[in-house]
Every structure is written in structure tokens, then in C-alpha cells.
Structure 1
Amino acid sequence: MRIILKTFALLTLTLSIGCGSSEDNGGSGGENPNKAVLLFPLNNSECTTGSEVSTTQSSVTFEWNAAQNATLYYVYVKNLNTQTQLQFNAESNTSMEINLLKGTPFSWYVVAKAANGTLAESEKWKFYNAGDAVENYIPFPVDLVAPIMSSSVQGPAVDLEWSGNDIDNDIVNYKVYFGTNPNPTTLIGTVTEERLNQVNTTSNTNYYWKVVTTDEAGNYSTSTIFQFKTF
């Protein structure tokens, strides 16, 4: 009987130690953060609530929902005309005022950081910071879909694809410039769809391309230059 009791006590002690050790290890590194949910400025919108700062700038309040386990937030804002991106430290706040140029398209997202150092990136949204007395807005520069930037693709015919957007929803066409020049100037197609199929290439060559978007008012925007290599 004593042997049975000793065995039972030893087994109970072993299980107790094992469970306690597991809990300690699980919590030692902290919890990873969830992604922040963006609230304002709204995606693909004209931002009209900025406060006047000067004739060229207004102050825009960025807002997002708190992310579980996040202790710090970084806000990234990119000027889509110049492709200049700035980083702002919002600390533990879920809103932040940032001075921006008027009449300019921007994109933005939030990175949540947990106490254990891990990061979680939110969706990326676009908006226009409204200018004075604007009746028609310039289309957003298109986003690359395919080929992926700096990727290697099989020729000889390659399909180019992108995603366009405009607040006024009056895009007329897309002009595609393509070639081996890092600043492509050869127009190879003017299309109304967000793709250009069967573009001829040669193997083992670097290609560059960009898209110019035009709306009904004659406004236009130029994308960044995309690059890929054929094999």
C-alpha cells in the first residue's frame, strides 16, 4: 500500500511541475500584437476635415482602433506624387495629427508593436488631402499587380497588370510606357482596362514600365517605375 501511495504522490508532483513549467514558458515572451484597424482618413476618399495650417498645408487627424497586445504604434504616410514616405511615432495613442500638403494624394498604414518587439502591419489606405476649391481630382497613381517588382518572369510574351482608382470615378484611359531604359519613354499601348496582354520581350533582359492614368478632365498621374527580368 505504501508503494502505491508513493508512486501516486510522485506522479502528481511530476504533473504539477510539468504544467507550471509550460505556463511560465508560454508567457515569458509576451503576446504578439493584432493588426490595427484603420478608421480615418477613409480609403479612396477626399479628406476634407483637415484644419488649416497655411495656404499649402492642412493638419489631418489619423485614427485607428487599438490593437490587442500593442504597446506602441508607428504611422507611415507616403506622398504618392513624390513617393516620399515618412514615419511617425504615435506612442500608445490611437490617433495623431499630421501636417500634409493640400491637394495631394497619400497612402497610409499603421504598424502595431508589442512589448516583446513583434510587429503587425495594418491594411494600406489611400486618400486625397483636399485642396482649395477643387472640382475634379487627379487619379491615384496605379498600384502594381504583375509582374511583381524585381521579379523574374518567363517570356517571350508577358502580361502587364495594375490597379487604378479615382475619387471622381472618371478614368478615361491608361497609357503604358515600356522598354529597357530605366526611365521608359516608349508608349506601347493606350487601354481602358487595367492590363496589357502579350507584351513582347527577349530572354535574360531587364525591362522597365510605368502607367500614366488620365481622367475626363485631363488630369493625369504617373505611377512609379516598375522593373522585372525575363528568362
Structure 2
Amino acid sequence: MRYEVPILGILMLALVSCGGSGNGDPEPEPPVLVTPPSAATLIFPDNNTECNEGVVVNATQSTVTFRWTEAQNADTYELNVRNLDNNNTARSNVSTNSTDLTLLRGVPYEWFVISRANGTNETATSATWRFYNQGAGVENYAPFPAEVVSPERGSTVAATGNVSLVWAGSDVDNDLVDFEVFFGTDTAALASQGTTTESTFVATIDAGTIYYWRVLSRDSQSNTSLSEVFEFRVQ
């Protein structure tokens, strides 16, 4: 006697034996891509101005409200405010685009904002602005400390025999008079190279040497400010 197996039964057996039951492990979910945040635009305190909108706390302190635009894709912000007299930096982490900070009066500051987004380590940093926090009875402010333009700090320059030192000076009273340049190979004994009304000075350099320099800014009222020490290496 001959038995016949239905064709449908054969197909089902073949699917089971080949693992074609359709119950395999699902494909892994693709990773979620987080869009990095954009940089915020600073609003207040304005750049290179006197901040006179703070709330006076006492004779030496006032509270200033920092404001900036909301940045795309940003969840939080880190406000950085640096005292240009002592280089101390205050940091504040907030989820809004403004925050209050109590500062010393009659002191120059610089500030910037870092945008952060949840789920990514990428950040974006705003421009850096400077201001003087209004002081009691101050009629004329000292210049802001000069900022390096060239050579950039920590850079290496070609051994051409000389280099142009370039900086940027600013003053809320717009009465800058001149600059005194200090230059040398020993940070503890930088020699004065004289004064200039320009924002550049040509210095003589030797190959294979690290040089340091800084600038003293002076205004019409003989108020002065001294920049940080900048350095560069000669090939």
C-alpha cells in the first residue's frame, strides 16, 4: 500500500527545518541621533560698555542680569564670567536664557555662554564680550586689559629675525592714549620696549626661543591696565 503526503504538509516541514517560522530576533533599533546645539547670541551686558543697570547690593557689590538669545537645540547653558583684575571665573548652569549674578562694582569683566544639549557631548560657545560693572562715584574707567591678536598664545612663528606683536585695546570712555610693550624670555623680568600709540610693535627674535610679552594700556586720565602675559615659540 502506498501513502501520499500532502504537498502542504511537506512545505510546512521544510519551513520549520529551515528556521523559517518567522520568530527570529528583531533587528536592533538604530541609535538616536541628537542634533548638537547652536551658539547663543549675547544681549546684555553689552560689549565694551559700562553696565549701569545692576541692582546695588552694597558699596562694593551689585547684581547684574545676564541675557542671551535661546540657542537652537540647547537644553541648558553655562554662563562664564571672568574678573579681568584677578582672573577668577564664576560659572552658572541654567536652563533659561538669562540669570542673575552678583559682581564687584567698578571692576572689568568678560563673559560668554556655552550651549549644551541632552544626549550629546557636543557644545557651542558664544562670542566673548567685555564690560565694566558700574562703580560708585567712578567718573572715568581704566582701559580694558589688551587682548592678543598675533602671534596667538602658544603659537609657533618662523625664525625671520623679527615679529609683529599685535593686540586690541578698548576703553568704555574712548580715551585711550598709548600702550607700553613689555617683551623678553623671562616672565619675571620683561623689559619695557617703550610706548606707542599704535596697536602693534615689531620685536627682534631668535630661532629656537620662547618669548613672552604683555601690554600696559593708558588713558587720558592716566588710568592704566596690564594685560595677561602672552607667549609664542620661534622655530
Residues 1:45 and 2:49 aligned together: yes
> Which structure has more helix as a fraction of its residues?
1
CA distance in 2 between partners of 1:184 and 1:49 (Å): 41
SS of equivalent residue, structure 1 residue 183: helix
Runs of 5+ consecutive residues of structure 1 not aligned to the other structure: 1-20
Tell me the equivalent position of 1:147.
151
8 Å contact from structure 2 (residues 78, 91) kept in 1: yes
Is this contact kept in 2: 1:184–1:210, CA < 8 A? no
1:140-179 correspondence to structure 2 within 5 Å: 140-155=144-159, 156-179=161-184
Amino acid at match of 2:76: L
Match of 2:93 in 1: 89
% identical equivalent positions: 40
Larger radius of gyration: 2
Q: 2:117 corresponds to which residue?
A: 114
Q: CA deviation at 1:229?
A: 1.3
After TM superposition, give the deviation of residue 116 of structure 1 in Å.
2.4
Task: Tell me the CA shift for residue 85 of structure 1.
Answer: 1.6
Report the alpha carbon displacement of residue 55 of structure 1 after superposing the two structures with TM: 1.1
> Which of 12, 23, 29 matches 2:33?
29
Matched AA of 2:180 = K
Q: Distance in 2 between matches of 1:37 and 1:132?
A: 30
The alpha carbon displacement at 1:150 in A equals 1.3
How many equivalent pairs are there?
206
Q: Is the 8 A contact 1:184 1:208 kept in 2?
A: no
CA distance in 2 between partners of 1:86 and 1:127 (Å): 15
- TM-score using structure 2 length: 0.84
2:134 is equivalent to residue 130 of structure 1: yes
Q: Deviations over 1:122-166 (max 9, x none)?
A: 111100000011111110001101111111112311110001100
Residues 98, 43 of structure 1: alpha-carbon distance in 2 compared, 3 angstrom cutoff: same
Query: Residue 75 of structure 2 aligns to a residue in which SS?
Result: strand
- Contact 2:190/2:212 (<8 A) preserved: no
In 1: Cα distance, 2:233 partner to 2:115 partner = 35
Tell whether the 8 Å contact from 1:109 to 1:124 is kept in structure 2 after alignment: yes
Report the counterpart of residue 21 of structure 2 in structure 1: none
* RMSD of equivalent CA atoms: 1.4
| Distance across 2 between alignment mates of 1:80 and 1:98 | 16
- What is the aligned partner in structure 2 of residue 72 from structure 1? 76
SS in 2 for 1:214: strand
Counterpart of 1:6 in structure 2 is none
Q: Could you list the runs of 4 or more consecutive aligned residues of structure 1 that deviate by over 3 angstroms after TM superposition? A: none
Tell me, in whole angstroms, the C-alpha distance in 1 between the residues paired with 2:152 and 2:45. 28
2:197 to 189, 192, 198: 192
Q: TM-score, normalised by structure 1?
A: 0.86
Rounded Cα–Cα distance in structure 2 between residues aligned with 1:32 and 1:150: 29
